[in-house]
Amino acid sequence: MIERIYTLEDIDLQTFVGANRSNLITLQSLFPKTKLRIHQNVLKVLGEGTSVEELFTVLSRLEQLCAQHNQLTEATIIEAVRQYRSSGSFATPASSSAEALIYGVHGKAIQARGKNQARLVKAFSSRDLCFAVGPAGSGKTFLAICLAVKALKSKQVRRIILSRPAVEAGEKLGFLPGEMKDKLDPYLQPLYDALGELIPAPKLKDLIDTGVIQIAPLAFMRGRTLSDAVVILDEAQNTTPQQMKMFLTRLGMNSKMIVTGDLTQVDLPRGVTSGLRDAVEKLHHLPSIGFIHFDKVDIVRHPLVAQIVDVYDQRDKDEAPQQDN
């Protein structure tokens, strides 16, 4: 009888263990000469030498699959054991899985959709600063967050920092009623929603509580140097040029930034220039910065959304005089 300790890291424990510990029960049935005991994220494996080593190897593979796919099913466990027992190794994922950018909380493969989303993925891999500009519904923010989560999971960075300008409150959050969290959540909820599609709720809460993922209004970025992180500024059309300069100059070592926005939905007061428009015009000549311009063909929401965008775009063209924004 030997004993080995296996520590589960960087995965959601409930997802790995399964409802009512169903996944552990499946493993136990496949390895009847071993015993599995769990306390928090530590698995204790007891049994005969060969069986324990075999189970230990399978556990490593299952942890990898769980982290990658955000789920672990009975079928996955059985197949992993079958592969190892028949060949002493594990099969390479199918090409469709290999092409996935990341997997959602229910194991759905998420891939770049359309040429401009693919351009953003490529630009992110080779540049430290990318601008993704285009209409609502083109997937800019969600794709940016997918890239950030993928970088965190692969340990390319240690943090994700997400920000939005709280333009409706003029960034003067102290004048709003309630606790700070109550003030911030309405502005930042779309970012929580996107993260919730990629990371299981218990794991997401832990990452936020420990500061690995930080979500804050733009006003909170002042004075910080953002190192070893993926930093995303969403709704950037609602920044002023001064705010945009402040944000861009927060970039630290081993960090990447993605700035997203829609120049047709500027909510700044009349006469105030959009910081996003200003930055695109001033920085477009720098080859070290990626600029990806989305259009209505990239819209991935309901088909009616593209038609609505068309109507409003035409109205804006017909209206005069043109606004400074």
pLDDT of residue 94: 43
* Exposure string over 139-148, b if 16+ CB within 10 A, otherwise e: bbbbbbbbbb
pLDDT of residue 5: 93
pLDDT of residue 146: 96
Q: Are strands 213-217 and 42-47 parallel, antiparallel or unpaired?
A: unpaired
Any bridge partners for residue 231, and if so which?
A: 161, 257
Domains of the chain and CATH, by start = 2-91 (3.30.1370.10), 102-318 (3.40.50.300)
The segments of the chain whose pLDDT lies below 70 read 92-98, 167-184, 300-303, 318-325
Q: Where are the extended beta strands (E) located within the chain?
A: 2-7, 34-39, 42-47, 102-103, 109-110, 129-133, 159-164, 213-217, 229-233, 256-261, 289-293
Q: Are strands 213-217 and 256-261 parallel, antiparallel or unpaired?
A: unpaired
The structure tokens listed for 210 are 């420990």
Any bridge partners for residue 251, and if so which?
A: 226
Reported pTM? 0.74
The structure tokens listed for 216 are 């804050």
pLDDT of residue 119: 95
Maximum pairwise Cα distance, the chain:
84
List pLDDT tens digits, range 45-57: 998 888 899 999 9
pLDDT of residue 209: 92
pLDDT of residue 311: 82
Q: Rg (Cα) of the chain, in Å, rounded?
A: 23
pLDDT of residue 44: 92
